[in-house]
Amino acid sequence: MPASPAVGPAGETPPAEPDEEAARKPPHPVSAPGGLRPALRSLKYRNYRLFVVGQCVSITGTWMQRAAQDWLVLSLTGSPTFLGVTIACQFLPYLLVGLWGGVTADRYRKRHLLMVTQGAMAVLALLLAVLALTGQVRVWEVNLLAFCLGLVSAVEDPARETFAAEMVGEKDLGSAVSLNSAVFQLARIGGPPAAGLLLDVVQAGWIFAGNAVSYLVVLLALLRMNPAELVPHTSAPRSPGQLKAALRHAAGRPELRYPILLMGLISVFAFNYPLILASLTNYYFHRGPGTYGVLNTVFALGCLGASFLVAPLLERGGLRLVVAAAVGIGVAQLAAAAAAPSLVLFALVIALAGVVGQSFVISANTWVQMNCEPEWRGRVMGIYMLVFMGGNPIGNPTLGKIAEEFGGRWALFFGGGAAALGALCIAALVRRSQIAVPNHPSSVRST
């Protein structure tokens, strides 16, 4: 860990060296209109604007493929359990190589790394499109490609999450995280309904092919960025033991440990909405792809609202906001299960679940990054993404089996109850630890 800054004779900290100061803030931000809302401040940076445009197109394609893939697996198997296995295949690699992905993000230039991963994802989407369009697709092939996509994503996600700080600097990191979330949710709003409509008129393979093309937009955006306007990259040492060092670093600091534990808990028991919504739509409400798309859209609208509502609360809410939102997720899922006999009431509660769920994701992501030194950020976010995405392979098969044997409502009851109870236990640990860590990155101290 870097040593604490030296203190002068008068008890004042001397000014940072020019190179150190330059590494803390993004050079040459592009001027933007004043009075931007907190969630939009990051748009004043040209590189980030390019990034957002590429993400809008690519993530929309990803959501369309995800919805089409879910429906394809259900069509091939007729089993929510098989769908849970397919989803688990996509997230299992986070358990296998997620930590290594964080080390990679700290070691290499993130812009270049993202170019490689986006190209690989395009190839995988194209392969799935060819299989589907030729009528030769089998469930094991879908699972294999989902697993390969998970391997690439396990490397890409820590790099993408921490690349925001290089584009906008730590001061506007909270804004970038919130806006990234808004883009993600806008894509979720548009993607599944569009996929549902297209599935009525075209084969799923054409949706997969369109997603392959969408990755090229991200590659173009990355190529057009000005590297001189990025915060200088701090590479991790190439010495052995980096994974163990990162685990010790995160586990030894309660301000990092508890949010990561909360994320793992929620990921296992509560963040299984594609499985739950598909199961309830097909087997409980007895509706088709259109209703599945509408429910995904309603959930995403709640998440989108949270993307803008939570941004002004990040600095004031701190870790309390993270914990409160985690408890709220479990409560919202219990309420959704209780409301399920009515499709309209269920949709309204699902929107509320989206609000609290995305509030948790944004606040936890921002808190962890802003309370972590830049040289550790990729590895710590690798751990964060490991528990965030890696919880699905654990929770999805179990909840899928519960949904198949007892119904989707019982899967919601089980997941929501476990999430609420676990979050309350961690909240008690947070209260006992009396964590008092400044939210602003300039105040983060080495220990």
pLDDT for res 26: 45
C-alpha span between 278 and 74 (Å, rounded): 9
User: How distant, in Å, are the alpha carbons of 27, 188, 197 from that of 214?
Assistant: 30, 15, 19
Contacts for 295 with CB less than 8 Å, ≥ 6 apart = 277, 280, 281, 346, 347, 350
Q: Lowest mean pLDDT: which of 70-84, 234-248, 275-289, 353-367?
A: 234-248
Q: Which residue has the higher pLDDT, 423 or 376?
A: 423
C-alpha span between 83 and 72 (Å, rounded): 9
Contacts for 337 with CB less than 8 Å, ≥ 6 apart = 409, 410, 412, 413, 416
**Residue 350 pLDDT greater than 60, yes or no:** yes
What tens digit of pLDDT does each residue of 188-233 get?
778 877 888 888 888 888 999 999 999 999 999 999 999 988 887 6
C-alpha span between 74 and 281 (Å, rounded): 12
| Dihedral (Cα; 240, 245, 247, 252), 10-degree rounding | 170
What tens digit of pLDDT does each residue of 265-309 get?
999 999 888 788 888 888 788 888 778 878 878 888 898 888 878
DSSP 240-273: S-HHHHHHHHHHT-HHHHHHHHHHHHHHHHT--H
pLDDT for res 190: 80
Q: What CATH number does the domain located at 38-225+239-438 have? A: 1.20.1250.20
Determine contact, residues 285/259, Cβ cutoff 8 Å.
no
Q: What is the mean pLDDT of residues 323-332?
A: 90
pLDDT for res 154: 86
pLDDT for res 102: 81
DSSP 117-149: HHHHHHHHHHHHHHHHHTT---HHHHHHHHHHH
Query: What count of Cα atoms within 13 Å lies in the side-chain half-sphere of residue 26?
Result: 25
Q: Which residue has the tokens 């259900």?
A: 74
Determine contact, residues 200/289, Cβ cutoff 8 Å.
yes
Q: Lowest mean pLDDT: which of 141-150, 255-264, 313-322?
A: 313-322
pLDDT for res 16: 42
Comparing C-alpha atoms, which of 133, 181, 125 is closest to residue 153? 125
Neighbours of 138 (CB within 10 A): 10
Determine contact, residues 302/352, Cβ cutoff 8 Å.
yes
Cα 199 from chain centroid (whole Å): 26
Q: Which residue has the tokens 């599945």?
A: 292
Sign of the torsion angle spanned by Cα atoms 372, 374, 376, 377: positive
| Angle between helix 254-269 and 314-339 (nearest 10) | 20
What tens digit of pLDDT does each residue of 1-40 get?
333 333 333 333 344 444 444 444 444 444 344 334 666 7
What tens digit of pLDDT does each residue of 114-152 get?
999 999 999 999 999 999 999 888 999 999 999 999 999
Q: Which amino acid is at 40?
A: L
Determine contact, residues 94/383, Cβ cutoff 8 Å.
no
**Residue 346 pLDDT greater than 70, yes or no:** yes
pLDDT for res 319: 82
pLDDT for res 405: 84
Q: Which amino acid is at 16?
A: A
